[in-house]
Structures are given as structure tokens and as C-alpha cells.
Amino acid sequence: DAGITQSPRYKITETGRQVTLMCHQTWSHSYMFWYRQDLGHGLRLIYYSAAADITDKGEVPDGYVVSRSKTENFPLTLESATRSQTSVYFCASSEPGRDSNTGELFFGEGSRLTVL
């Protein structure tokens, strides 16, 4: 099915371990984003990408690494997980200015990460 999918949906890990959250979209949207959602903070941007091989930091990038070698994939890696990175992570994509669309964000289902 077309859309944007995240994996894993749920992950429990330990402090210090490396974790990678995967994101795959089938629309060929140029922009992809990673947000984290925490109570009282809404959604905060971690990293975004305007195209393959182009990534940039968002509001809260520390402790995270991203890559985008292909347009459809945008993995997020926590190189050494900390308890403060326990959160729900959303991947999203958008294609601004295409036809008459609004350019809204399309979200994945979210990945709930717990760091013990």
C-alpha cells in the first residue's frame, strides 16, 4: 500500500545502546522529517531532509543522526540512547507546491521508544 511506514512501532532498549528507527515513503515526496512527541511539548523537529543526500538539523538534534541515501528512506539513529530520548517518534513527508495541494505533512504511525 502507498503511504509512509515506520518500523519498529515499539522498541525497548537500554541506555547506551544504538537504536535505528526506519521510515519509508512511497509517494516520492522530496521532504522528510523526524519529530519527537512528548507531553507538554507537542511535536518537536529533530532533523529534516529536503532531498536525497540533503539533511539539516531541527530544534532538538543532539544525540541523533540521520541519513538519506534514497528519496524514499529516512532512518533516524540514536547512537547512544539516553533515558531522555524515551518518546514517541514520528516520521513525516511532504511535497510543497505540487499542483494545487496544500503541501501538508503526511505522518507515519509513530514509533514508541522506551530507554531503560
Partner 1 sequence: AQKITQTQPGMFVQEKEAVTLDCTYDTSDPSYGLFWYKQPSSGEMIFLIYQGSYDQQNATEGRYSLNFQKARKSANLVISASQLGDSAMYFCAMRVTGNQFYFGTGTSLTVIP
Site for partner 1 contains 2 (CB under 8 A): no
CB-count exposure of residue 6 (10 Å: 0-12, 13-18, 19+): buried
Q: Which of 1, 2, 28, 42 binds partner 1 (CB under 8 A)?
A: 42
Residues ≥6 apart with Cβ < 8 Å to 106: 3, 4, 25, 27, 29, 92, 93, 94
Please identify, among the stretches 14-22, 40-48, 60-68, 71-79, the one whose residues bind partner 1 according to the rule CB under 8 A. 40-48
Verify binding: residue 41, partner 1, rule CB under 8 A: yes
Q: Which residues bind partner 1 (CB under 8 A)?
A: 31, 33, 35, 40-45, 48, 50, 88, 90, 92, 94, 96, 102-107, 109-110
